[in-house]
Chains A and B, each alone.
Chain A
Amino acid sequence: MTDTIAEHAAPDLKAGTPLVEMEGCGKSYGAIRALEGVNLTVNAGEVACVLGDNGAGKSTLIKIISGLHPHTEGTLRVDGKERHFSSPRESLDAGIATVYQDLAVVGLMEVWRNFFLGSEIRKGKYPMAPLDIKAMREIADAELQKMGIFVKDINQPIGTLSGGQRQCVAIARAVYFGARVLILDEPTAALGVKQSGVVLKYTAAARDAGLGVVFITHNPHHAYLVGDHFIILKLGRRVLDKKRSEVSLEELTTEMAGGQELAELSHELKR
Chain B
Amino acid sequence: MSSSVATKPSAPPPKAAAPARTQRSVLSRVLARPEVGALAAAIAIFLFFYAVAEPFRTLPAFATVLYASSTIGIVAVGVALLMIGGEFDLSSGVAVATSALAAAMITYQFSLNMWVGVIFSLVVALAIGFVNGYLVMRTGIPSFLITLSTFFILQGLNLGITKLVTGTVATPNASALDGFDSARAIFASDIPLGFMTLKVTVLWWFFFVAVASWLLLRTRTGNWITAAGGNQASARAVGVPVPKVKIGLFMGVAFLAWFLGMHLLFNFSSVQSGLGVGNEFIYIIAAVVGGALLTGGYGSAVGSAFGAFIFGMTTQGIVFAGWDPNWFRTFLGVMLLLAVLVNLYVKNYAAQRK
Given the complex, which residues of B lie within 8 Å of A225, measured CB to CB?
A: 5-7
Residues 212-227 of chain B, each 1 if its beta carbon lies under 8 Å from chain A, else 0: 0011001111011011
A1 with B239: CB separation less than 8 A = no
CB distance from B301 to the nearest CB of A (A): 15
A150 with B19: CB separation less than 8 A = yes
A150 with B18: CB separation less than 8 A = yes
How far, in angstroms, from A57 to B214 measured CA to CA in the complex? 43
A window 57-97: CB within 8 A of B: 66, 68, 87-89, 92
CB distance from A256 to the nearest CB of B (A): 17
Residues 115-126 of chain A, each 1 if its beta carbon lies under 8 Å from chain B, else 0: 011111010000
CB distance from A142 to the nearest CB of B (A): 11
How far, in angstroms, from A98 to B234 measured CA to CA in the complex? 11
Given the complex, which residues of A lie within 8 Å of B227, measured CB to CB?
A: 106, 109, 113, 117-118
B238 with A226: CB separation less than 8 A = no
B140 contacts the other chain (Cβ, under 8 Å)?
Answer: no
B9 with A201: CB separation less than 8 A = yes
Interface size on B, residues (CB 8 A): 42
A153 contacts the other chain (Cβ, under 8 Å)?
Answer: yes
Given the complex, which residues of B lie within 8 Å of A107, measured CB to CB?
A: 230-231, 297
Interface-facing stretch out of A17-25, A26-34, A202-210, A233-241: A202-210
A122 with B220: CB separation less than 8 A = yes
A100 with B237: CB separation less than 8 A = yes
Given the complex, which residues of A lie within 8 Å of B19, measured CB to CB?
A: 150
Report which of B9, B21, B214, B235 forms a contact with A208, defined as CB distance below 8 A.
B9
A106 with B235: CB separation less than 8 A = yes
A193 contacts the other chain (Cβ, under 8 Å)?
Answer: no
How far, in angstroms, from A79 to B303 measured CA to CA in the complex? 49
The 9 closest A-B pairs by CB, nearest first: A204-B9, A118-B238, A118-B239, A106-B230, A89-B239, A103-B234, A106-B231, A1-B12, A103-B233
- What residue of chain B has the Cβ atom nearest to residue A47's Cβ? B5
A129 with B220: CB separation less than 8 A = yes
Q: How large is the interface on A (under 10, 10 to 19, 20 to 34, 35 or more residues)?
A: 35 or more
B139 contacts the other chain (Cβ, under 8 Å)?
Answer: no
- Asked whether A205 and B10 contact (CB < 8 A) given A68-B237, A100-B237, the answer is yes
A244 with B4: CB separation less than 8 A = yes
A204 with B1: CB separation less than 8 A = no
How far, in angstroms, from A128 to B231 measured CA to CA in the complex? 23
B240 contacts the other chain (Cβ, under 8 Å)?
Answer: yes
- Asked whether A152 and B21 contact (CB < 8 A) given A129-B219, A129-B220, the answer is yes
B326 contacts the other chain (Cβ, under 8 Å)?
Answer: no
Given the complex, which residues of B lie within 8 Å of A106, measured CB to CB?
A: 226-227, 230-231, 234-235, 297
B238 with A131: CB separation less than 8 A = no
Residue among A103, A117, A200 having the largest count of chain B Cβ atoms under 10 Å: A117
CB distance from B59 to the nearest CB of A (A): 35
A104 contacts the other chain (Cβ, under 8 Å)?
Answer: yes
How far, in angstroms, from A30 to B33 measured CA to CA in the complex? 45
Report which of B23, B215, B226, B234 forms a contact with A100, defined as CB distance below 8 A.
B234
B236 contacts the other chain (Cβ, under 8 Å)?
Answer: yes
How far, in angstroms, from A107 to B13 measured CA to CA in the complex? 28
B298 contacts the other chain (Cβ, under 8 Å)?
Answer: yes
CB distance from A154 to the nearest CB of B (A): 9
Given the complex, which residues of A lie within 8 Å of B241, measured CB to CB?
A: 89
CB distance from B248 to the nearest CB of A (A): 11
Given the complex, which residues of B lie within 8 Å of A1, measured CB to CB?
A: 12-13
B220 with A152: CB separation less than 8 A = no
- Asked whether A103 and B237 contact (CB < 8 A) given A2-B12, A225-B6, the answer is yes
A118 with B12: CB separation less than 8 A = no
B window 99-140: CB within 8 A of A: none
B6 with A224: CB separation less than 8 A = yes
Report which of A109, A131, A226 forms a contact with B5, defined as CB distance below 8 A.
A226
A228 with B1: CB separation less than 8 A = yes
CB distance from B272 to the nearest CB of A (A): 37
